[in-house]
Amino acid sequence: MGVNYGMKGDNLPTLPEVISLCKSRNITKLRLFDPNAAALAALQNSGIDVILGSYNEDLPNFAADPSSAAAWVDANVVPYAAAVNFSYIDIGNEVIPGELASFVLPAMRSIDAALRAAGISGNLHCCAGDILPAVARCLY
């Protein structure tokens, strides 16, 4: 079982409390909507699989400039890769359909290349969580 972990709100539990709650409820997967350093630090050695989201506004830069994607990976994935169980990098949030949709695939390619260049692409993949609902709308 997994959860989406949004951090925009009031009176949220502390990060260690969230990790403890997940473990106590046998939650083994967690999606972070954006790269939050404190959350990533708290998830180290937790055994929880992490889907790490990127900011929507970063998609055009990732798509146009692979060095932007590499800098993002170097800042948000590499420092935690040895101790956080990353399973996916989620490219954008609710951008398909929309004005940023055309940037998703090129951004995924840039992030994937950056992960490979950093030597951490093994079981870590890029995804776009918005694609499946968009495909379903096209099919039905």
CA atoms of 117 and 8, how far apart (whole Å) = 33
* Rounded percentage of the chain residues whose pLDDT exceeds 70: 91
Segment 32-62, tens digit of pLDDT: 999 999 999 999 999 999 999 999 999 999 9
- What value does the mean pLDDT of the chain take? 88
| pLDDT tens digits along 24-40 | 999 999 999 999 999 99
Report the C-alpha gap between 123 and 93 in whole angstroms: 22
Say if residues 15 and 32 touch (Cβ distance below 8 Å): no
Count of other CB atoms within 10 angstroms of residue 65? 12
